[in-house]
Amino acid sequence: MPKRDSVRVLLADDELVSSRKLASMVKTWGYEIVVVNDGNAAWEVLRSEESPRLALLDWMMPGLDGPDLCRLLRGRSGPYVYVLLLTSRDGKDDVVVGLEAGADDYVTKPFSPLELRHRLNAGRRIVELQEKVEAQNEEIRSMARRDALTGVLNRGAIFETLGVELTRARRERAPIAVMMADVDHFKRVNDTHGHLAGDQVLRAVAERLGAQLRPYDVLGRYGGEEFLVVLPGCGVSEAEEVAERLREFVAATPIVAEKNAFTITISLGVTSVERVVSDAPEPLIAAADAALYDAKHAGRNRVCTAIEPAQGPLPGDAPRVGAA
């Protein structure tokens, strides 16, 4: 939430003397001012990623005029910019034209500084309220992508992210690795000590896995006690090293849950593609899942690697029932 003295305002006015006076006045009200002297320059500022959220636009300017800028603004995506039109036109038809173009408010020249200040403050309040709503919506979107128990990405989000990373890897001709991790003998924890203990174990395992990954690696809960890890830019040998590090870190110290200390181990299945030719995530997941199955049946608490999978959508996605 921006503070008042950090709010930026774009002023676009080709009358240099009045522009300087107005800029100085707006600064004394606690705003940061960005000044341009024609409509084309104003559009370059407004279309940038760091665009001010408030704009004072003169109606008549070289290049794009105020209504033209409003129409362009309302036709583009991105954060909303609150627009005050500065105009010497005071006819009702002119006012309607400006508002229909997308202006939020207008001030007629010559204007009262007090009136302009209050109208600008009203625009600031609207922008700040919208920023609050945007932040809340982003939080809701983020929560919808997170597993409620562990806080890592949920199944849908990790699948979606893997698809995005596959597209990136194909475009950049970079390798990508996927690993499936499963908590060994997890059913025993639930059966012997209850689901609350099991939940605490899963949260601790997710935290330990995340602590050992790079900022741009992706961790998600695949389901039950299984986790899916996406490692962009990793070949098979690098992925195996990461998997061994994860396995050792999880088992290094007991996990305390419901006043009991559990020595928890994980099994991991790893696969990697050196040259991505398909955006379909199913072949990599299936290969990592098969390698995990091998690790479980070879004694658990180990890493197994699958050969590079044939890429392309699988004809079917029959679920595998692995060892617990």
In a 3-state reduction of DSSP, which class is residue 154?
A: coil
> What sign results for the dihedral spanned by CA atoms 245, 296, 264, 199?
positive
DSSP code of 305?
E
- Whether 82 contacts 111, CB under 8 Å: no
Determine the distance from the C-alpha atom of residue 157 to the mean position of all C-alpha atoms in its chain, rounded to a whole number. Answer: 12
The residue behind tokens 């986790």 is 227
- Residue 108 buriedness (CB in 10 A; 0-12 / 13-18 / 19+): middle
Helix pair angle (92-101, 66-75), 10° resolution: 30
Cα dihedral sign, 242-212-147-257: positive
**Quick check: helix, strand or coil at residue 312?**
coil
* HSE-CB for 30 with a 13 A CA cutoff: 11
Q: Is 254 helix (H, G, I), strand (E, B) or coil?
A: coil
Q: Would you call 225 a catalytic residue per the annotation? A: yes
- 32-36 and 8-12 strand pairing: parallel
Name the active-site residue from 165, 225, 226, 282: 225
110 cis-preceded (ω within 30 degrees of 0): yes
- Show which residues are catalytic: 225
